[in-house]
Amino acid sequence: MSGDMSTFFSISVIFAVLMVFTALYCILTSRNLIRILIGLELMTKAVTLLLAVGGYVSGRMALAQSFIITLIVIEVVIIAVAAGIVIGTYRHTNDLDARKLNSLKG
């Protein structure tokens, strides 16, 4: 059981790390603000997986579940606020190109 858990943990961590890389790739190379938000969401997915694995391997699934539920609530609020900011930016510029967001420099 313990060995099995260990492999399961290693494999999950590898996939979570790959997912984080994918998300970072999305955040760093995208020009569209909405796409950057999608990248952030993907990163949160990887983190959710890590939390679940942490609870599963240590046998504290109930604790991990309550963490995940809290995390999801927070995630929704952040995405709603972020969507508000994106729409606000769009109202000003009629564009969502991240590279045009360069009036702040230094």
29 lines the binding site for other proteins (CB under 8 A): yes
104 lies in the site for other proteins, by CB under 8 A: yes
Fill in the per-residue mask, 76 to 95: x = in contact with other proteins (CB under 8 A), - = not in contact. Answer: xxxxxxxxxxxxxxxxxxxx
DSSP single-letter state for residue 89: H
Q: Which is nearest to 9 in space by CA: 48, 44, 50? A: 50
Are 65 and 59 a contacting pair, CB within 8 Å?
no
99 binding other proteins? (CB under 8 A): no
- Where do runs of H (alpha helix) occur along the chain? 2-29, 33-58, 61-93
In angstroms, give the least distance from the CB of 100 to other proteins: 10
Smallest distance from other proteins to CB 21, Å: 5
